[in-house]
Amino acid sequence: MIAFNYETKFQLNNEENTSKWIQECIEREGFELGEINYIFCDDAYLHKINIEFLQHDTLTDIISFDYTLGKLVGGDIFISVERVEENAKEFNTSFENELHRVIIHGILHYMKYKDKTDEEKQIMRSKENECLEILDKK
């Protein structure tokens, strides 16, 4: 089950299609959908979580708390809509494209993809692109 929660005025355009897309990406990797909660918020909300739980005094676009058990993918994914908007401008892409990249980025972490080294970042970006291509075909 995927739940979308809003701590800001933002609202996803099509929650049902987004859920189906996320589930398809999970299943293509050989995992199973568990319980995933997306929480869309602003910078201040996510900054507070970053300080409180991770002791990082920085702005970020996403924080994910992983509750995956074996192949059952689950967790809480907090996304700052403000950061996504800024990143879309910085990376010269649409807000929607950047939002979808961030949405699936958290899921990929749950499926054990990392992004600390250059090699890991390259693999993560490739997996994000694969998932975005799936969405584009819908």
The answer to whether 109 is a known ligand-binding residue is yes
8 Å CB contact between 40 and 7: yes
The answer to whether 105 is a known ligand-binding residue is yes
Per cent of the chain over pLDDT 90 is 91
Tokens 């995956």 correspond to 68
Host domain of residue 19: 2-136
Give residue 136's pLDDT: 82
8 Å CB contact between 52 and 45: no
pTM: 0.93
119's tokens: 């090699």
The answer to whether 57 is a known ligand-binding residue is no
Question: What is the distance between the alpha carbons of residues 123 and 101, in angstroms, rounded to a whole number?
Answer: 14
| Number of domains observed in the structure of the chain | 1
More confident residue, 136 or 125: 125
Name residues whose C-beta falls within 8 Å of residue 14's C-beta, 6 or more positions apart in sequence. none
- The CATH number of the domain where 73 resides is what? 3.40.390.30
